[in-house]
C-alpha cells in the first residue's frame, strides 16, 4: 500500500531534522522475498554501514505492552496470540494475506511506529558518526512508494525460480504455495527500474560480495565529493 504524500513528507521532514548538520547518507536496500536481503545487508555491515532492518523493527513494535500490540490484539482478537501472549506473526499473516482491508488495518497499527523507531535509530547513528552511511533494509519499500525518502536504492536480485526454491527450502512449503506467495508481491524484474544499484544474489555469494564492495566504494566516493 502506497503511503499518502502527507505521511511521506512528514517522515522526510523528521529525517532531515535528525540529519541536520551531518554528512550522513540514507540508503535503502530492498528486493523480493527470499532474494537474500539480510545476507547482503551483512556484507554492508562488515564494510562499515549502519544497518536498520525493518523486519526487526516490525517485531519490536508489536511486543506485549506496546501501543501496536494493543491496537492489533484489540482488532484481531486473542486468537492471534501465542501461549506466552506474544503475537503469532505467522497466524496473523495468514489472516491478512488474502484480505486487503485487514492488511491495510494491520499496516495502520504498525507502520507509524516502525517509522518512528527508524527515525530514532537514525538519530542515534548520526550522534555516533556524523558521516554514517545508514542502510535501511525494507522489503516493501517500492510497494509503499517510499524510495524517494532515500538518497539511493539498492536492489538485491534473485530470479523468481531461485526465490521459489529458497522459499520451499526455508519455509518447508510446496512449490504451489511458494508461487502463490511470490505472485502476491511486485515482480522482482519490475523493481529493477526503481533501483540505483542492483546486486545479483542469484548464484555465488562471492559475486554478490564483490558487487556489494563496488557499491560501497561508489557510496563512499559520492559522500566525499
Q: Return the half-sphere exposure (C-beta side, CA atoms, 13 A cut-off) of residue 168.
A: 12
Task: Read off the pTM.
Answer: 0.94
Dihedral sign (CA 120, 113, 70, 139) = negative
Instruction: Give 10-residue mean pLDDT values along the chain (225 residues).
Output: 86 96 97 96 98 97 98 97 96 91 96 97 98 97 95 97 96 94 92 97 94 97 84
Q: Name all domains of the chain by residue range, CATH numbers in brackets.
A: 25-49+133-225 (3.40.50.300), 54-126 (3.40.50.300)
In 3D space, the residue among 51, 45, 24 whose CA is nearest the CA of residue 213 turns out to be 45
Tell me if 55 sits within 8 A of 136, measured CB to CB: no
Q: How far, in Å, CA of 43 to CA of 215, rounded? A: 11
In 3D space, the residue among 42, 26, 31 whose CA is nearest the CA of residue 198 turns out to be 31
What pLDDT sits at residue 187?
94
Tens of pLDDT along 66-101? 999 999 999 999 999 999 999 999 999 999 988 999
Q: How far, in Å, CA of 116 to CA of 4, rounded? A: 16
Give Dmax over CA atoms of the chain in angstroms.
55
Q: How far, in Å, CA of 27 to CA of 207, rounded? A: 21
**Grid coordinates standing for 97?**
494475506
Amino acid at each position: 500500500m502506497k503511503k499518502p504524500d502527507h505521511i511521506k513528507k512528514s517522515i522526510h521532514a523528521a529525517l532531515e531534522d535528525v540529519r541536520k548538520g551531518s554528512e550522513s547518507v540514507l540508503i535503502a536496500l530492498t528486493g523480493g522475498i527470499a532474494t537474500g536481503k539480510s545476507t547482503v545487508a551483512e556484507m554492508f555491515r562488515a564494510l562499515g554501514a549502519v544497518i536498520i532492518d525493518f523486519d526487526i523493527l516490525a517485531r519490536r513494535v508489536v511486543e506485549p505492552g506496546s501501543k501496536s500490540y494493543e491496537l492489533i490484539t484489540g482488532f484481531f482478537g486473542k486468537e492471534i496470540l501465542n501461549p506466552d501472549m506474544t503475537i503469532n506473526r505467522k497466524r496473523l499473516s495468514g489472516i491478512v494475506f488474502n484480505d486487503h482491508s485487514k492488511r491495510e488495518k494491520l499496516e495502520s497499527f504498525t507502520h507509524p511506529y516502525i517509522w518512528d523507531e527508524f527515525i530514532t535509530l537514525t538519530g542515534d547513528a548520526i550522534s555516533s558518526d556524523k558521516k554514517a552511511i545508514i542502510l535501511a533494509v525494507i522489503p516493501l519499500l517500492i510497494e509503499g512508494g517510499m524510495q524517494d525518502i532515500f538518497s539511493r536504492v539498492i536492489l538485491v536480485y534473485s530470479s523468481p525460480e531461485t526465490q521459489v526454491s529458497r522459499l520451499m527450502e526455508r519455509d518447508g512449503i510446496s512449490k504451489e504455495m511458494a508461487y502463490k506467495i511470490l505472485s502476491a508481491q511486485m515482480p522482482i524484474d519490475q523493481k529493477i527500474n526503481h533501483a540505483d544499484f542492483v546486486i545479483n544474489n542469484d548464484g555465488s555469494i562471492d559475486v554478490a560480495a564483490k558487487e556489494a564492495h563496488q557499491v560501497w566504494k561508489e557510496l563512499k566516493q559520492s559522500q566525499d565529493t
